[in-house]
Structure 1
Amino acid sequence: MANRAPASPRVTSSANRLSTGRAAAGGTIKAVLGPTNTGKTHLAIERLCAHSSGAIGFPLRLLAREVYDRVCAIKGPAQVALITGEERIEPKGARWLLCTTEAMPARPDLAFVALDEAQLSADPERGHIFTDRLLHARGREETMLLGSATLEPMVKALVPEAEIITRPRFSTLSHVGAKKLSRIPPRSAIVAFSAEQVYVMAEMLRRFRGGAAVVMGVLSPQTRNAQVAMYQSGEVDYLVATDAVGMGLNLDVEHVAFAGLSKYDGHRHRRLTTAEMAQIAGRAGRHHKDGTFGTLAGTGGRDPEFTDEEVYAIEEHRFPPLTRLFWREAEPRFDSLATLIADLESPPPRPELTTPPEAIDLAVLRRLAEDPDVAATLRGARSVERFWHVCSLPDFRQQGSETHARFVARLWQDLRGGYLGADYVAQAIAQLDNPSGDIDTLQGRIAAIRSWSYIAQRPDWVLARDEMSARARAVETRLSDALHGRLTERFVNRRTTVLMRKAGADASLLPVRLGEGGAVLVDDEPIGHLDGFRFVVDPLARAADRKLLLAAAERHLPGLLAGRLAELVADAASGRDLALAEGQVTWRGLAVAGLAKGRGLLEPRIALEPALERLAPAERDKVQAALAQWLEQALAAPLRPLRRLAEAARDPAAGAELRALALHLVEGGGVLAREAARLDDLSPAQRAMARKLGIQVGALDVFVPAALRSAPLAAWATLARVWGLAPVTPPSGLAPVLAGKTVPLGYRRAGSQVLRVDMAEKLLHAAHGVRQGYRSRRFVLDPALARSMGLTTASYAALLRQAGFRAAVPRALAEGQAGPPAPPLWQWRPPRPAAVAPTKSLAAKGKGATAAPRPAPPAATGAFAALAELLR
């Protein structure tokens, strides 16, 4: 109790300050009182702009921002300031200030001062701040107090010199009873009193009516503004909100439905007062447009209902007058912690004022004052004052005094010695710069970044204040945008909203268009997609919407398809966006046609997809002709070598033998085994003609080198599938391992690998070149060239054996001798028509040559050693 000793003289000081404040005030004081939708705020803005300077204090940051934008449009941004706890835009020499009530500066030089929603002086949490502004905030020429008519007795008692002006409501507010959520009319606001109830209502509206905007006090101002803008623009027709919607938000609401009539006020669960009900219900109706209010039915037997007295009071705007306003010493002494706490707990100086419940800042102050480590850091009045300002940090997280006190204590440890370093603040802000997560996670990050925005705004707390403030605002904006996106994604079904708003039950009114990827859009919202040229309803569409969507598609798609067909024909003519793969022609990734048998293997025919086959004959023929022309151009270059052979096969002058060879090469994709080519039947003239056609005779194969490139091989493989030849797709790489039993087109087996025919011929040609350079019948072959092509030594040996080469394995070194083993010696024997398989005879020879036991040769490395080991 000793802490309260200085309270009595402080009461006298406060009473003197009240009287001197009134005496010093010059100009007029007007109290403009009345219900919602009376134009009070609009009048205050007009009076502000009519004076040479002025300020208005608002209860919400978003209201201050809204009016700031309006005044900037009138006076210019260079003359207007925005001052809130989290954001300060103060041009040098700004004369008109838009502030939150807590941030209103004490400037006696301002010509005009206004306080909005002054009846909040009776609010248990913030009422003492509004009371202080009501008693002391004065303009040099004019002061205006805006609020509910319930404030009139308090104004007469505390500010007797004020001129009281009452204003009637512009529109009529009527009670319409209870309605089910499914029968709530468009342009309605549903008010709930917990986050869980808000989410339930929004989710139900998403199912019934396409979605709703969400407004809650825990949302950041940017998120609330974005949600309100979505409602105001008509993107959604419903708004689900807590009682935060009743505080000055100007909305085009025609009906307000109460999901409940009681709330938890932080201390107890209680029924709303009639004044609180009227403040919320008054959002219905805008300017001279009448509004209605009621309750929500069908909530499980606990439907809220207004009493007759409450309905009468709301409709007639008759409420019990305020008899007390909350008050707390606004200018306490900072001689010591005990003196500070005693002044903050001192009794009010007037009987019309009462002590409020313990606010969060005073609770934190008392809790930390009991900590000896914290109390030991407070030395002198300036230190106590600075500590009080730290304790006054708003609890944006709303996690209770215990959690908030720990945050304040940590902040004080950093602030007691001076400023917060820029690196420290930047790191704290950067840790919150994460727009991922669900709704609750983003709300928590936004609350945390608002704390740092408040901290960064203090001129004596943070070094590089402007930079840190800008960073904090940027992070809050990103998080708010992400939260708006999550809310919209969860609670708005844009397709259903668009359908109901644009068409009702008339599908012909739907503005259907074609988007990217074949999406069918109504007002940029997908309702289905085109699978090729067939419309498919979005599988996520409600069953009730499917009939309407199909009707809309049937009504509008012929026009859309005509445009799409024109694009297909144009792209076919220019060769853009079309591709041929696996026997299908695709356009922009969509299958539009397939290949069918034509007059010959190299002359396929276009077969349109079923959706295109059902087109009108004129359109179908036009598309088929365009695709056929494109296909001919696409195959012209790859099939040119084979088509030359096909022409020769039809030319009588080529002779029967050459025509037969050309025909076999066409059917083989440009490759034919030499033993099946019957080359001995060709005359010298036919051989010369074959060379002109690009036919090359190799050791094992007769082939056309130009047809063995990747594009001709792929084109012939596609055509062969159409005719049922089913060739193996040409592999990638120089000498891949054979995957199955069938050798790919254009390739030859070499042991466990396959090698393209022309490359195999290159190896065999090199081997014969070495053979001809040796006088003896035996010679050495270097496998380096084969290895560079990707062949293993075993595969190279297998290829050589196919061409008639045989190897003699040298004798191993005798015991006691050292040195590398001798390389194998090769010899070539022309294959006989009825010869036994060379591999078998080579194996038999090998067995006979190595029957006797021999000493093991020393270990050696190298290509020759590997080849010798293989042959052994």
Structure 2
Amino acid sequence: MVHTPHASSRHDASGRVKAVLGPTNTGKTHLAIERLCAHSSGMIGFPLRLLAREVYDRVRHIKGENSVALITGEERIEPKQARYLLCTAEAMPMMDRSMAFVAIDEAQLGADRERGHVFTDRLLHARGREETMILGSSTLEPMVKALVPEAEIVTRPRFSTLTHAGAKKLSRIPPRSAIVAFSTEQVYAIAEMLRRFRGGAAVVMGALSPQTRNAQVELYQSGEVDYLVATDAIGMGLNLDVEHVAFAGLSKFDGQRHRRLTTSEMAQIAGRAGRHQKDGSFGTLAGSGGHDSEFEPEEIYAIEEHRFPPLTRLFWREPEPRFDSLTTLIADLETPPMLPELAPAPQAIDLAVLKRLAEESPIAETVRGAAQVERFWEACRLPDFRQQGVETHSRFVARLWQDLRVGELGADFVASQIAQLDRTGGDIDTLQGRIAAIRSWAYIAQRPDWVLARDEMAARARAVEARLSDALHGKLTERFINRRTAVLMKKLGPDSGLLSVRLEDEEVLVEGEHIGSLRGFAFKVDPGARLSDRKLLLAAAEKHLAALLQSRADALADAIHADSAEITLEDGVLAWDGERIATLEAGRTLLAPTLVPDRTLDAIPGPARKALVAALEAWLEKVLAPLEPLQKLDEASRAEDAGPDLRALLITLVERGGMTSREQCGVDQLDKQRRTMLAKLGVRVGALDLFVPAMLRPRPIALWRQLSRVAGKSAPGGPPEADMPPALPATAHGRLPGYRNLGKQLIRLDMAEKLLREAHEARGDSGSRKEARARDFKLDPARAVSMGLTTASYARLLRLGGFQPVMPRALAEGVQGPPAPVRWRWRPPRREAQPERKTAAPQNSAFAALADMVR
């Protein structure tokens, strides 16, 4: 049945509704977060994945990781106990969650041509049991009054003043400014010019992934660059320390036509200037060549006074269409609204794809029944992250439907598609295209009924997006930023090269004046240098700093080759002279991490830097030499003759540091040939565990744990760095690499196998298997005692190995003498054990406690 739009909620929520309206920098989102945390549960819908992630991190620090969920199209972090949901508007779970508090941010986007119908639906129907909050621009007030008459409207003033500053040339734009352009080409051109005479700029565009956008924004926020060049993507969701916003133009192409910005759009962008109580300014970029690059007086007045034409209609589309057939579905989605305040939503990409594929008989004939129609509609709603248009995007959806109509996408297919995009080479545009493509697969992998091995595929897609984002950030930084210390990029003095510069210990002196320190390869300016001479002194330091850094780099490279360099590796960080010089990042395999030079090495002249990096890579290879036994296992796992069972076992051993429990590891299913291969690789197959003896040492285990953390894998706590004694007290979590848990004690794996082997030798190998099982024998606990094992721990180890205690009979009443020793009987662990004897140990014997433990 077609849903009729009205102002009531789908839920019978009786909570109060409040609309908090106002311009940018009024603290609306901050207020919503405070109200969310004040309730027992809550949910906020945001317009951007980036903004949802930012607020998720804030709420997680307040409420705890297990109480907060992040739900977007491409990412789901949803603990079972989550009571607070931070979502994109499209991903809000409307029907199956009852929340005490619900908020929708930037609700005025109900007037957006592509996504407006989603925000309108949330405005009409998203309700909390106790409180609902609608956040948006003041232009939304008439719509709230008409569509949500029960809402209390609160208008908040802007914290700071926004002032028009006129037109300025690019060379006159003040520091801490954002320059806004409306095409990729113009963004690149402005950033290139800023690089030449201002040292560079951060770049923010809507096509960037959230991770890349955050990394670029951090360059600006940290002060590494003083300028930000952006498209109108800066207008929403980014809280920046911007003092001035300069418009390179005042018109844009909106997908249908080239038009001038509305005053509301101008204000949304200009409002990024000035945060909290700090005032901001806005203006235009002189000489940009645009015929409409000047603000009209009425536009300036509207922006400064925050007075904009109110919204008269919001876009609406049937949110609950019928799925009887494709024809019915399309008809419902094109049904006009019943209220005068609502307008039919323009045809969005999802509806365009649906209609395009419905016209193809081979596809339409496969969509039969309500369940299939609904599943097909969900496939058509896959966002066009690649912005390739209806025709190309519909081909992509049609290919997915071939598999989705009969079940789920195979993990191998999804993995191969993700792997094809896992390439970090190419220019900026190529990397942006791959990021857009991997976002499509991240969205697909999040669907619970679309992909086999959903969690694994989603994790792979997120990892590839992270690597591509890092590569894109590097390319943008390399192209648009001149990486030198910010102060040293200032204008050079005319005679700065004539001044003397020298290095004493770690102190940099210019004409005897202390200007900063050079520790490792990081130059730090002394804030106490005389202000009158600061520019001249810094300019001189810049001219000579490259030579100082080159000398240091050459000396360190020589020391590395001579095995005398004092470099440390801790938690994946290479440090020298107390400063980080490189970090390890996940590589193709756990044992082959990627060495990433620290950005402080960028100031070293090219050839010297290249030689130093090569020396560091050689040093790392030598440091990781104790892991050679694992390297052999890793290489053997890729051999053609390994077979699937042995390959799986070898991969498990590598990931677990060369040791794993024998139970369920599959070693017993290996044939003789592959067991021989396993032995040649140095793997010892024990009664309880498989392990590589060479890995039972502190250094190899410590290295393996570091590489596991670098690769994002969990590793148990490590043993003492200096020694690995045969036995240790049990830890709180009961696990240490190289040890087996015996309750209150841990025993090293090779020592455990030695004790079990001695037990087998004591029982003797003569006679039949049946006789061996029936024969009782004594064990000398001397070796176990010498290792530091208690009687209970030794007994537990024997029981794990298949040995059962036979307790001695108690002495007859009145009989004196020493108690008889405990005897043992071997029972193979894979056979059903016989009932234990109930004979009690003498009350005062040394084995009384053991008997109680056995029973």
Per-residue displacement from partner, 1:192-236 (whole Å, max 9, x unpaired)? 001111111111111120110011000111100110111111111
Q: Distance in 2 between matches of 1:30 and 1:472?
A: 39
- Asked whether the equivalents of residues 28 and 162 of structure 1 are also in contact (C-alpha less than 8 Å), the reply is yes
Task: From 306, 309, 334, give the equivalent of 1:345.
Answer: 334
Distance of aligned partners of 1:334 and 1:307 in 2 relative to their CA distance in 1, 3 Å threshold: same
Q: Distance in 2 between matches of 1:433 and 1:104?
A: 30
Aligned partner of 1:14 in structure 2 is: 4
Distance of aligned partners of 1:525 and 1:338 in 2 relative to their CA distance in 1, 3 Å threshold: farther
Aligned partner of 2:25 in structure 1 is: 37
Q: Distance in 2 between matches of 1:241 and 1:455?
A: 29
- Asked whether the equivalents of residues 7 and 147 of structure 2 are also in contact (C-alpha less than 8 Å), the reply is no
Aligned partner of 1:88 in structure 2 is: 76
Per-residue displacement from partner, 1:816-841 (whole Å, max 9, x unpaired)? xxxxxxxxxxxxxxxxxxxxxxxxxx
Aligned partner of 2:198 in structure 1 is: 209
1:378 lines up with 2:367 in the alignment = yes
Aligned sequence identity (%): 76
Aligned partner of 1:308 in structure 2 is: 297
- Asked whether the equivalents of residues 44 and 144 of structure 1 are also in contact (C-alpha less than 8 Å), the reply is yes
Aligned partner of 2:237 in structure 1 is: 248
* SS of equivalent residue, structure 2 residue 4: helix
Task: From 115, 125, 128, give the equivalent of 1:126.
Answer: 115
Aligned partner of 1:113 in structure 2 is: 102
1:444 lines up with 2:443 in the alignment = no
Aligned-residue CA RMSD in angstroms? 3.6
* SS of equivalent residue, structure 2 residue 399: helix
Aligned partner of 2:92 in structure 1 is: 104
Shift of 1:499: 1.7
Q: Distance in 2 between matches of 1:554 and 1:154?
A: 62
Per-residue displacement from partner, 1:357-379 (whole Å, max 9, x unpaired)? 11000000000000000001011
Q: Describe how 1:288-367 pairs up with structure 2 within 5 A.
A: 288-300=277-289, 302=291, 304-367=293-356
Kindly provide the amino acid, as one letter, of the partner of residue 400 in structure 1. G
Shift of 1:553: 6.2
Distance of aligned partners of 1:177 and 1:527 in 2 relative to their CA distance in 1, 3 Å threshold: farther
Q: Distance in 1 between matches of 2:344 and 2:505?
A: 63
Per-residue displacement from partner, 1:78-115 (whole Å, max 9, x unpaired)? 11000000000000110000000000011452000000
Moved more, 24-33 or 255-264: 24-33
Aligned partner of 2:40 in structure 1 is: 52
Kindly provide the amino acid, as one letter, of the partner of residue 244 in structure 1. A
Q: Distance in 2 between matches of 1:133 and 1:64?
A: 16
- Asked whether the equivalents of residues 124 and 356 of structure 1 are also in contact (C-alpha less than 8 Å), the reply is yes
Task: From 254, 274, 281, give the equivalent of 1:285.
Answer: 274
1:174 lines up with 2:125 in the alignment = no
Aligned partner of 1:417 in structure 2 is: 406
1:398 lines up with 2:393 in the alignment = no
Q: Distance in 2 between matches of 1:411 and 1:338?
A: 21
Q: Describe how 1:157-236 pairs up with structure 2 within 5 A.
A: 157-236=146-225
Kindly provide the amino acid, as one letter, of the partner of residue 438 in structure 2. I
Distance of aligned partners of 1:469 and 1:22 in 2 relative to their CA distance in 1, 3 Å threshold: closer
Kindly provide the amino acid, as one letter, of the partner of residue 48 in structure 2. L
- Asked whether the equivalents of residues 209 and 497 of structure 1 are also in contact (C-alpha less than 8 Å), the reply is no
Gaps of 5+ in 1: 1-8, 530-544, 578-872
Task: From 53, 70, 90, give the equivalent of 1:65.
Answer: 53
- Asked whether the equivalents of residues 492 and 536 of structure 2 are also in contact (C-alpha less than 8 Å), the reply is no
- Asked whether the equivalents of residues 64 and 82 of structure 1 are also in contact (C-alpha less than 8 Å), the reply is yes
Q: Distance in 2 between matches of 1:275 and 1:19?
A: 25
Distance of aligned partners of 1:512 and 1:211 in 2 relative to their CA distance in 1, 3 Å threshold: farther
Q: Distance in 1 between matches of 2:336 and 2:500?
A: 67
- Asked whether the equivalents of residues 513 and 522 of structure 1 are also in contact (C-alpha less than 8 Å), the reply is no
- Asked whether the equivalents of residues 20 and 135 of structure 2 are also in contact (C-alpha less than 8 Å), the reply is yes
Shift of 1:414: 1.5
- Asked whether the equivalents of residues 488 and 542 of structure 2 are also in contact (C-alpha less than 8 Å), the reply is no
Shift of 1:329: 0.4
Q: Distance in 1 between matches of 2:111 and 2:222?
A: 35
Q: Distance in 1 between matches of 2:385 and 2:97?
A: 31
Q: Distance in 2 between matches of 1:337 and 1:551?
A: 73
- Asked whether the equivalents of residues 121 and 128 of structure 1 are also in contact (C-alpha less than 8 Å), the reply is yes
Kindly provide the amino acid, as one letter, of the partner of residue 43 in structure 2. A
Kindly provide the amino acid, as one letter, of the partner of residue 154 in structure 1. M
Shift of 1:300: 3.6
Q: Distance in 1 between matches of 2:311 and 2:330?
A: 28
Kindly provide the amino acid, as one letter, of the partner of residue 55 in structure 1. M
1:458 lines up with 2:442 in the alignment = no
Kindly provide the amino acid, as one letter, of the partner of residue 471 in structure 1. R
Kindly provide the amino acid, as one letter, of the partner of residue 421 in structure 1. G
- Asked whether the equivalents of residues 251 and 292 of structure 2 are also in contact (C-alpha less than 8 Å), the reply is no
Aligned partner of 1:269 in structure 2 is: 258
Moved more, 371-380 or 500-509: 500-509
Kindly provide the amino acid, as one letter, of the partner of residue 93 in structure 1. Q
Shift of 1:430: 0.3
* SS of equivalent residue, structure 1 residue 14: coil
Q: Distance in 2 between matches of 1:181 and 1:522?
A: 31
Kindly provide the amino acid, as one letter, of the partner of residue 277 in structure 1. M
Q: Distance in 1 between matches of 2:519 and 2:305?
A: 44
Shift of 1:526: 13
- Asked whether the equivalents of residues 499 and 510 of structure 1 are also in contact (C-alpha less than 8 Å), the reply is no
Distance of aligned partners of 1:528 and 1:325 in 2 relative to their CA distance in 1, 3 Å threshold: closer
Task: From 375, 384, 396, give the equivalent of 1:407.
Answer: 396
Aligned partner of 2:126 in structure 1 is: 137
- Asked whether the equivalents of residues 120 and 130 of structure 1 are also in contact (C-alpha less than 8 Å), the reply is yes
Kindly provide the amino acid, as one letter, of the partner of residue 55 in structure 2. V
Q: Distance in 1 between matches of 2:443 and 2:501?
A: 47
Shift of 1:575: 13
Tell me the number of residue pairs that the alignment of Structure 1 and Structure 2 aligns: 544
Shift of 1:187: 0.5
Distance of aligned partners of 1:526 and 1:73 in 2 relative to their CA distance in 1, 3 Å threshold: closer
Q: Distance in 2 between matches of 1:524 and 1:267?
A: 56
- Asked whether the equivalents of residues 213 and 240 of structure 1 are also in contact (C-alpha less than 8 Å), the reply is yes
* SS of equivalent residue, structure 1 residue 494: coil
1:259 lines up with 2:259 in the alignment = no
Shift of 1:181: 0.5
Shift of 1:494: 1.9
* SS of equivalent residue, structure 1 residue 24: coil
Q: Distance in 2 between matches of 1:210 and 1:523?
A: 22
- Asked whether the equivalents of residues 495 and 525 of structure 1 are also in contact (C-alpha less than 8 Å), the reply is no
* SS of equivalent residue, structure 1 residue 224: helix
Q: Distance in 2 between matches of 1:340 and 1:501?
A: 63
- Asked whether the equivalents of residues 438 and 486 of structure 1 are also in contact (C-alpha less than 8 Å), the reply is yes
- Asked whether the equivalents of residues 199 and 481 of structure 2 are also in contact (C-alpha less than 8 Å), the reply is yes
1:494 lines up with 2:483 in the alignment = yes
Q: Describe how 1:531-570 pairs up with structure 2 within 5 A.
A: 551-552=540-541
Kindly provide the amino acid, as one letter, of the partner of residue 46 in structure 1. E
TM-score, length of structure 2 as denominator length: 0.60
Distance of aligned partners of 1:135 and 1:564 in 2 relative to their CA distance in 1, 3 Å threshold: closer
Q: Distance in 1 between matches of 2:564 and 2:445?
A: 56
Kindly provide the amino acid, as one letter, of the partner of residue 37 in structure 2. C
Per-residue displacement from partner, 1:309-360 (whole Å, max 9, x unpaired)? 0000000000000000000001100000000000000001211000121100
